């Protein structure tokens, strides 16, 4: 029978020569995407390094040490069960790996509980069981079932103990996954760490951090403490999409956890510390704000556009855009609901993005980079 699925279907999907060259140049510069989504693997890489050398740097909290002891001291049986789980679902995304989606309330409680787990060593009383088949499960149990390669969540909302088991399972599975990848010589992601980038007084990294702190205070009223990891990367002679050469500073702010909590990115032109991009990411930024249907959100398009224009003028000195396009940001919550509006503004050849939370007009994302 003739195969109807073949290379011709995707013949139009092509990488551009410019993108190839950018990949090449970035590799020579040893430049990772430094994306916040790799933070966990980075965290665990550092934890593994700590295990090897047996030394914690100054600043590692007692809770972090306890956490590391917990995941690195799994007994053989538990470790092996996680290896099997990792092997079985090499390509499972979050949505596919569980019997149902988390409810918004569960996500909220996970965000709260993971702070206790990582920062205060509040661990579950038992560990999530691994069963061969679903028959072995009790009703409303939280468990991984080997034959289905699925984590079954109870039909009713999980209680605190189950949520802690969920957080614990997530941390251990990543730890094992990274061990397995490393055994194959594959680095599980670069650019993220357990500890903040060490800063020397007067260095460009320290100046960038100071500038970024101020932007975060101004935009989000955020003052970070020791529970925040701040990564600072400086790239010399970086070229933006308009051909401008600059020293680029990229700063990531996050706390350890499952990835639902709010994290922040700041991009700076480190030559003058002017802002290129500031963004708030994670469910935490919208879970506690009101959601709107797309029809309801339409009524706020003009009002939020005013906020976006104000921020763009104030920060970038740009006004009277040639064109404005908008779309609703859904963050994969409930279909047809949104909490923010994203604007794309064109000023001559320059494109600026501004995302505005509908409920309070806060700028969630601003970029001229």
Partner 1 sequence: MKNRDVDLESVIDRYSDMLYKICFLILKNEQDTKDVLQETFLIYYTKKPKFENEEHKKAWLIKVSQNKCKEFLRFHKRHAALPLEDMEETLVITDGLSGSDKEILSLIWDLDYKLKSVVILFYIEGYSVNEIADILKTSPSAVKKRLQRAREKLSVKYKREVAYEK
Residues that bind partner 1 (CB under 8 A): 1-15, 19-20, 22-24, 26-28, 30-33, 35-41, 87-94, 96, 181, 185-190, 259, 279, 281-283, 330-331
Tell the smallest beta-carbon distance from residue 152 to partner 1 (Å): 17
Q: Please identify, using beta-carbon distances, which residue of 20 and 290 lies nearer to partner 1.
A: 20
Q: Please identify, using beta-carbon distances, which residue of 7 and 302 lies nearer to partner 1.
A: 7
Tell the smallest beta-carbon distance from residue 184 to partner 1 (Å): 8
Tokens of 207: 């100046």
Distance, CA of 129 to CA of 145 (rounded, Å): 9
Tell the smallest beta-carbon distance from residue 216 to partner 1 (Å): 17
Tell the smallest beta-carbon distance from residue 27 to partner 1 (Å): 4
For residues 319 and 313, the answer to whether their CB atoms sit within 8 Å is yes
Q: Please identify, using beta-carbon distances, which residue of 77 and 237 lies nearer to partner 1.
A: 237
Which residues in 66-95 are b (16+ Cβ under 10 Å) and which e?
ebbebbbebeeeebebbeebbeebeeeeee
- C-alpha distances (whole Å) from 129 to each of 162, 169, 177, 213, 340 are 11, 10, 18, 43, 39
Q: Please identify, using beta-carbon distances, which residue of 145 and 207 lies nearer to partner 1.
A: 145
Q: Please identify, using beta-carbon distances, which residue of 5 and 55 lies nearer to partner 1.
A: 5
Tell the smallest beta-carbon distance from residue 38 to partner 1 (Å): 6
Tell the smallest beta-carbon distance from residue 36 to partner 1 (Å): 7
Q: Please identify, using beta-carbon distances, which residue of 241 and 302 lies nearer to partner 1.
A: 241
Q: Please identify, using beta-carbon distances, which residue of 23 and 62 lies nearer to partner 1.
A: 23
Tell the smallest beta-carbon distance from residue 233 to partner 1 (Å): 13
Q: Please identify, using beta-carbon distances, which residue of 177 and 269 lies nearer to partner 1.
A: 177
Name the pairing type of β-strands 245-254 and 350-357. unpaired
Tell the smallest beta-carbon distance from residue 353 to partner 1 (Å): 11
Tell the smallest beta-carbon distance from residue 187 to partner 1 (Å): 6
Q: Please identify, using beta-carbon distances, which residue of 232 and 261 lies nearer to partner 1.
A: 261
């Amino acid at each position: 029978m003739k195969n109807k699925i073949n290379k011709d279907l995707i013949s139009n999907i092509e990488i551009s020569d410019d993108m190839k060259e950018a990949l090449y140049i970035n590799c020579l510069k040893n430049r990772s995407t430094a994306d916040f989504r790799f933070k966990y693997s980075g965290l665990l890489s550092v934890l593994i390094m700590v295990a090897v050398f047996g030394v914690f740097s100054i600043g590692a909290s007692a809770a972090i040490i306890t956490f590391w002891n917990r995941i690195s001291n799994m007994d053989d049986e538990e470790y092996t069960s996680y290896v099997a789980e990792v092997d079985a679902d090499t390509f499972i995304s979050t949505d596919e790996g569980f019997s149902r989606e988390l409810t918004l309330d569960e996500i909220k409680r996970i965000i709260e509980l993971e702070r206790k787990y990582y920062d205060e060593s509040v661990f579950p009383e038992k560990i999530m069981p691994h069963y061969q088949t679903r028959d072995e499960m009790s009703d409303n149990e939280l468990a991984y079932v080997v034959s289905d390669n699925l984590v079954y969540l109870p039909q009713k909302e999980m209680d605190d103990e189950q949520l802690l088991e969920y957080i614990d399972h997530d941390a251990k599975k990543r730890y094992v996954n990274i061990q397995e990848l490393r055994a194959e010589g594959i680095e599980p992601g670069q650019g993220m760490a357990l500890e903040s980038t060490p800063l020397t007084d007067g260095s460009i990294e320290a100046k960038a951090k100071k500038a970024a702190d101020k932007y975060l205070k101004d935009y989000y009223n955020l003052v970070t403490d020791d529970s925040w990891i701040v990564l600072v990367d400086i790239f010399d002679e970086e070229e933006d999409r308009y051909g401008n050469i600059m020293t680029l500073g990229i700063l990531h702010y996050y706390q350890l956890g499952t990835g639902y909590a709010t994290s922040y990115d700041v991009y700076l032109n480190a030559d003058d510390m002017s802002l290129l991009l500031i963004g708030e990411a994670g469910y935490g930024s919208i879970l506690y704000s009101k959601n709107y249907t797309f029809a309801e959100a339409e009524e706020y398009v003009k009002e939020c556009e005013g906020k976006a224009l104000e921020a763009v003028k104030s920060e970038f000195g740009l006004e009277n855009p040639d064109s404005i396009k908008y779309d609703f940001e859904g963050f994969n919550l409930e279909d047809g609901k949104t909490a923010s509006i994203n604007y794309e503004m064109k000023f001559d050849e320059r494109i600026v993005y501004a995302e505005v939370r509908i409920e309070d007009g806060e700028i969630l994302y601003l970029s001229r980079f």
